[in-house]
Amino acid sequence: MTDGVLYVKSYFMSKTLERNETRISYRVPALEKGLEVLELLSGISFPLSLTDIADRLGRTKQELFRVMACLNEQGYLIRDSNQGYRMSTKLFELGAKHASTEALIARATPHMETLTHELNESCHLNIVVRNKMLVVARVDCDADVSLAVRIGASFKLHDRNSGQVALSFLPEEERHKYWEQSDQPPAQIKKWESEFAAIRKAGFRTIDSLLIVGVQDTATPILGADGRLLAVLCVSHIRRVGESRDSSRISSAMLQCSQAISSEFGPTMLNRPDIEGNTVN
């Protein structure tokens, strides 16, 4: 057993003793065990077996078996073919209902509706939750053909344009922690990091979709008064036959929209960027 595992095990055992000493009434043992499991797995990026989880929490497999089965059945955990457990996105989706997120959505929606009307394109709003992008809001357009992203969808930051834009505006320390937990090779991380400065300077990025052929993705950050990243505004544009690849109309409108949303939380932090300078064809 490694020193790290011994430390984690000792920590959780000491916390259990503290709870036993300080909580005399209103104890719900099964709930406590479930919360311990969720807290443990929330900080681990790889699946753990029931034996591993029990060992790290200082409990027996028999104590946790029914708790794990319940969390799995309710959708909070995912069990893989090797009987390893990891977190699902259900807590991410519940977190999207938090009051601060609701306030963000409430302030952003009118501006997103204006953007959708101007471009006749659907748009959506993503936030960073536990190292993933989570879609929390969407405004649909009236066009006969458009692309819409499901609310509640989540994905790794480096897998999509919006996530890479989010990474660009996260503090360097947070990006470093994210890369440490990712499975990306150092050369690829270095390449992405070299692109982030240009994204920060431009205030947006447009690239061909990393998921769908024939779609251009544009993403721009929503920043708070202190410059902290609040969300990322996104438009996925389906290119029509014979249409120019020039996306400056979309990026210009999105920048105005993102700055309008940001101004709801304080002075706008982004400078006016070079619209043509950050479009990758």
Q: What is the per-residue pLDDT for 247?
A: 81
CATH number, domain with residue 50: 1.10.10.10
Q: Domain containing 48: what range?
A: 3-88
Q: What is the per-residue pLDDT for 60?
A: 94
Q: What is the per-residue pLDDT for 99?
A: 66
The low-confidence residues of the chain, meaning pLDDT below 70, are 1-25, 93, 96-99, 267-281
Q: What is the per-residue pLDDT for 227?
A: 86
Pick from 55, 88, 121: which residue ends a domain? 88
Q: What is the per-residue pLDDT for 280?
A: 52
Residues 197 and 231 in one domain: yes
Q: What is the per-residue pLDDT for 1?
A: 47
* Total tally of structural domains belonging to the chain: 2
Q: What is the per-residue pLDDT for 72?
A: 92
Residue 147: CB atoms within 10 Å: 18
Q: What is the per-residue pLDDT for 244?
A: 77
Residues 69 and 136 in one domain: no
Residues 269 and 168 in one domain: yes
Residues 82 and 117 in one domain: no
Residues 270 and 136 in one domain: yes
Q: What is the per-residue pLDDT for 96?
A: 66
Q: What is the per-residue pLDDT for 27?
A: 82
Q: What is the per-residue pLDDT for 275?
A: 44
Strand-pairing partners, residue 215, are 238
Residues 22 and 112 in one domain: no
Nearest to 269 by CA among 231, 221, 223, 230: 223
When the pLDDT of each residue in the chain is averaged and rounded to a whole number, the result is 85
Going by C-beta distance under 8 Å and a sequence separation of 6 or more, which residues neighbour residue 3? none
Residues 60 and 143 in one domain: no
CATH number, domain with residue 258: 3.30.450.40
Question: Cβ(162)–Cβ(234) under 8 Å?
Answer: yes
